[in-house]
Chain A
Amino acid sequence: MNSTIVEKILKEIEHYAPAHEGEHVGRVTAVGDGVVAIDGLSKAVMSEIIAFEETKDKKLAHAMEAQEVIYGLILNLEEDGVRAAVLGDTARVSEGMTVKSTGKILSVPSGEELLGRVVNALGEPIDAKGPFKNVTMMSVEREAYGVIDRKSVSVPMATGIKSIDAMIPIGRGQRELIIGDRSTGKTTVAIDTIINQRNEPAEKRPICIYVAIGQKESKTARIVAQLRAERALEYTIIVDAPASAPAALQFLAPFAGVAMGEYFMDKGRDVLIIYDDLSKQAVAYRELSLLLRRPPGREAYPGDIFYLHSRLLERAARLSDAKGGGSITALPIIETQDGDVSGYIPTNVISITDGQIFLISELFNKGIRPAIDVGISVSRVGSSAQTKGMKAVAGTLKLELAQFRELEAFMQFAQDLDKATADRIASGQRMVEVLKQKNGAPMPVEMQVAVLFAAQKQLFADVPVARVTETEAKLVAFLDGQASGVLKEIKTSGALSDDLKAKLAKVFEEFRLAHTELFAAK
């Protein structure tokens, strides 16, 4: 033992003042699958944290070697005892073990120190970067702000994805569901949105929180690496409750994430939170509820499964100026089975959120990515947050694409098409190509406006469909290099004035002359 430790121990002994106080305790009567039944603790309250006493019947030397204290969360208050979820390794809890009441409601740390860090559902760091020093504890369960404290959504939350920002715009404080089958790019949309926030000025940039629920550790590690490489981790907190974590932690993770976000919202900051995904949280909650012997309902989910998601998503809000004007924008993700959006959990979450982005396998397999079905995707409040510039170029886009999809289906049976129909189909095919976007490459709004304006002005009409994506990429590079001033003007004004339109038209003409090979053959 080195001298520093000895000094510390001596100092501790000198200042030691034992508290001769009785602790409120109970005794474990049954343990199984992360849930314990406890006799006693009659004064415990719902969601209280309890501590399991592992050191009893152990010699001092063994007690000193013991790992950190195991905590539990009270979830059921019963007539003759309580039932609690173990927030750690259940194997360390045994029958007869003494359980102490802590008198504390579950809370997690939050603050600037958490930015760039990976934490578990209890807010404990899991990235080997050391403990937090200066944090504020935030209650995991908190009532959402009421009507008086809120104001309507009017500031855009740019995702950097053309098809979303143009046709399904999201505003700060909105709750927009991302829904689709497995492997349709749901997480990619969410991660691209986080990456795109680097295009926002630092003072307006939202704090991003990515909550991974029931995901593979490898997937989360890949996301962390991607965010780090894109310099997005510095304004992001990752809350990880992997598939290997107990069901209780998977159920708690989204609440922990939003509690961390509320710290920033209360300080007037904007927050973007991704719940990836709430279907897995619902499954974890079902598991926990069945183990807690709560009566099962439809699909064996407990009766309060709707309330689980509604009370979580209601915490997303845009606060009034009196409350600081902060916001939490929530992008929950739901995984569907075989495209069935009429399932229990999908319909619940659809009804809670302010719109949904549907991603479908058919488009994904055709190579149309992001595979968003714009026909059935909606944003109920975001359009009021769209910039004037975007509104000007995207006004009729959704209708045109929906018409194209109908004509496309009809085209399979028709032999000869009249010119108007053929033109509309050709235009639709090109628009689909323009809206394609690689993952990890979000586009700033001003660039999106310029590209969509080019499409509106039929710049791609003379380009073969197969070369539209290439042309668009070259146009983006050209605009970046030759028209950065115009882009800056669009960004600062947020509108597309006649003057800017004329300037862009001129740039497009220059682009056409510089890339005649693209426009040569139709």
Chain B
Amino acid sequence: MENAYAQVLWRLIQAGKTPHDAVIALRAVLVTDGREVLLPRIGKAFERIARREMAKSRITLSIAREKDEHHAKAEAKNALEKLGLSDKDIHVQIDEDLIGGWRLEGGEYLVDESYRKHLLSIYNRSTNE
């Protein structure tokens, strides 16, 4: 039940209503329906939705070494363009396990151009024959 209300709240805000107005409107409905007691749980469900939606828009670029950042960003930009995603807020992180190359995660997409992935792919194909 609280998930449905939280979804409504999220959509109201997405539609342009201020968070304050949206909460006031929702509370009025809950009071009328005698469901005011759900408010804390709706708040938690809303938090989950917000976290999930923000994660969707966040783009993470993983690289093995700091010095690869410039080159990786340039390549990642092309990849993002292909996927129709914006390259504004790219969060860069170091992951030494990648060995080299880069790995981009954003929206519902993953582009893995790390050396680890390529080496693993070569290994699997050589040993599975």
Q: How many residues of A contact B (CB 8 A)?
A: 31
Do residues B110 and A22 form an inter-chain contact, with CB atoms below 8 A?
yes
Select A16's contact among B79, B118, B129, beta carbons within 8 Å.
B118
CA distance A64 to B117 in the complex (A): 10
Do residues B120 and A55 form an inter-chain contact, with CB atoms below 8 A?
yes
Within 8 A of B (CB), among A159-192: none
A366 at the interface (CB under 8 A from B): no
Give the interface segment out of A37-45, A107-115, A240-248.
A37-45
Within 8 A of A (CB), among B1-57: 7, 49, 52, 55-56
Interfacial chain A residues near B94, Cβ < 8 Å = none
Within 8 A of A (CB), among B93-121: 95, 97, 99, 105, 108-113, 116-120
CA distance A63 to B112 in the complex (A): 15
Give the interface segment out of A23-31, A295-303, A318-326, A513-521.
A23-31
Shortest A21–chain B CB gap in Å is 7
Do residues A59 and B97 form an inter-chain contact, with CB atoms below 8 A?
yes
B82 at the interface (CB under 8 A from A): yes
CA distance A24 to B84 in the complex (A): 13
Interfacial chain B residues near A21, Cβ < 8 Å = 111
Do residues A25 and B109 form an inter-chain contact, with CB atoms below 8 A?
yes
Do residues B127 and A26 form an inter-chain contact, with CB atoms below 8 A?
no
Give the interface segment out of A4-12, A259-267, A472-480.
A4-12
CA distance A42 to B53 in the complex (A): 13
Interfacial chain A residues near B82, Cβ < 8 Å = 22
Select B83's contact among A22, A41, A64, beta carbons within 8 Å.
A22
Within 8 A of B (CB), among A110-149: none
Do residues B110 and A100 form an inter-chain contact, with CB atoms below 8 A?
yes
Interfacial chain B residues near A5, Cβ < 8 Å = 126-127
B125 at the interface (CB under 8 A from A): yes
Given contacts A40-B56, A60-B119, A63-B116, contact A24 B109 (CB under 8 A): yes
Nearest chain-B residue to A5 (Cβ)?
B126
6 further contact pairs, Cβ within 8 A, besides A12-B122, A23-B111: A16-B122, A18-B113, A25-B105, A40-B108, A43-B108, A57-B97
